[in-house]
Copies of this chain bind each other. A is one copy, B any other.
């Protein structure tokens, strides 16, 4: 009796990204920016992602979701995260920077599978918190996250300084 090593048609596989996935990750990042109404916001290159995802210091981790369809492996989505820090809890947490599923593969539970897998990594590593951000107009995602047990940190607002304003601030102390 032999056992086939071919996964069932339509089955989902989640795995850590490898350097060979970088062109696909960059395509996902660009598709996500377009979905977030910022199609020209992506300046990252494949070299940037290789350096920061697979070099030292390693700045992020990434999971790839792929579907097995008729013997082929189809990339369907990704989750990219890094470690933040809570001084209240005295422990690193996981911050999910990007979660994306290709439009043609939505409704198959892939987003939930990715989010659940990152939550499991957080628990396995003793991280007491798992966080991410959502656009306030993205009601379907907000509902989805609430259903998964997440709460919105409504009181907190993000502040950001970048570009020339960052350089000006940096040099104002000299």
Contact = CB atoms under 8 A, between A and B. Distances in A.
Interface of A: 29, 32-33, 38, 41-45, 48-49, 52, 57, 59-60, 80, 82-92, 95, 97-98, 112-113, 115-117, 119-120, 122-124, 128-137, 142, 145, 148-163, 165-174
Contacts of A115: 169
A161 B172 CA distance: 38
Contacts of A159: 131-134, 142, 145, 150-153
B163 A128 contact: yes
16 contacts: A44-B88, A48-B90, A52-B85, A52-B91, A57-B92, A59-B83, A82-B84, A119-B170, A122-B166, A129-B162, A129-B166, A131-B158, A133-B157, A149-B166, A150-B165, A151-B160
Contacts of A157: 133-136, 142, 152-154
A171 B60 CA distance: 23
A132 to B, nearest CB: 5
B91 A87 contact: no
Chain A at the B interface: SS class: mixed
A122 to B, nearest CB: 6
- 6 tightest Cβ-Cβ pairs between the two chains A and B: A44-B90, A48-B90, A149-B165, A116-B173, A153-B158, A119-B170
A142 B157 CA distance: 9
Given A128-B163, A137-B155, A152-B159, 16 more contacts: A44-B87, A57-B92, A80-B85, A84-B97, A116-B173, A119-B161, A119-B166, A123-B166, A123-B170, A130-B166, A130-B169, A133-B156, A136-B157, A142-B159, A148-B172, A151-B161
